[in-house]
Amino acid sequence: MTLSRYGVREWGLATAAAVAIIVWFWPNQWIALSSIFVWIVVAGFFRDPLLRRPATDDTKDLVSPADGVVSAVIDVPSHESVDGPAVIVRIFLSVLDVHINRMPCDAELVHMRHMPGRYLDARTEESARVNESNLLCLRTPTGIRFGVRQVSGAIARRIVCPLRVGDLLSRGQRFGMIKFGSTTELIVPRALVEAILVTKGARVKGGVTILVRLRDSALPS
């Protein structure tokens, strides 16, 4: 376990504030202990587990882009990331979850679109439609198009994604985070889905848990 590089600023501010409060209020041990607790909470939010291994290396399988709980599995008639009907697996991340986003499979970033929006509670269905978001349109080495979408929440007010179009990414690779509560979506072409391996309410682990299995026909023979 280590600190995510995406949280260096917050980690530094929390550390400086905790030290200042402890020094200034040391005779009042309750205040000092409270500052240490807040520091631990901030550090925990920006934790970055090491040595995670995907549950599979099979090119048919797409692993979760985030830690959290599956809040919805839905069909949509069209989605821009796949240019047609799609299946969306939506994951809710509470403030207690690891917030590092990870790549579902080997892929190239072909397009990225940031959309401004509202900051509703990420637990509501409406938030996925109207909140600030960042859509990654990706293509596997075999030419399959899919998407990953980062969605902000009521507390989360900053989506971090340092990628650029043309970047080549590997399965499980870190590609950003959403700070303080959020939603992440995996979007897959409906016609290529063989099986969805999770249901609403399932707890998943980013870069590890298999969410979707593609049809053999989706891959070159």
> Would you state the pLDDT for residue 52?
84
Instruction: Give the residue range(s) of CATH 2.70.70.10 domains in the chain.
Output: 61-216
Q: Higher-confidence residue: 165 or 155?
A: 165
Name the pLDDT band for 65 (thresholds 50, 70, 90). very high
| Beta strands, E only, the chain | 2-3, 47-48, 61-63, 68-79, 84-93, 100-102, 107-115, 133-139, 145-151, 159-160, 168-169, 174-178, 182-189, 193-196, 203-204, 210-214
Q: Tell me the per-residue pLDDT of 20-49, one tens digit each, with 9 for 90 and over.
A: 565 656 666 666 666 666 666 666 667 788
pLDDT at 20: 59
- What does DSSP say about strands 210-214 and 159-160: parallel, antiparallel, or unpaired? unpaired
Q: What is the mean pLDDT of the chain?
A: 85
- Give me the pLDDT at residue 53, please: 86
What pLDDT is recorded for position 158?
Answer: 78
- Evaluate if residue 66 carries a pLDDT over 60: yes
Whether the pLDDT of residue 205 is over 70: the answer is yes
| Residue that wins the pLDDT comparison between 193 and 218 | 193
Long-range contacts of 52-57 (CB under 8 A, 24+ apart): 52/102, 52/172, 52/205, 52/206, 52/207, 52/208, 53/172, 53/208, 54/171, 54/172, 54/207, 54/208, 55/208, 55/209, 55/210, 56/210, 57/171
Active-site residue, from 133, 182, 217, 221: 182
DSSP 3: E
Q: Is 71 a catalytic residue?
A: no
The residue type at 100? I
57 by Cβ neighbours in 10 Å (0-12 / 13-18 / 19+) ranks as exposed
Superfamily in which the 61-216 domain is placed by CATH: Glucose Permease (Domain IIA) (2.70.70.10)
Helix (H, G, I), strand (E, B) or coil at 16: helix
For residue range 134-157, what is the model confidence (pLDDT) as tens digits? 999 999 999 999 999 999 876 656
Which of the four pLDDT bands, split at 50, 70 and 90, describes residue 168?
very high
User: For position 11, what pLDDT does the model report?
Assistant: 56
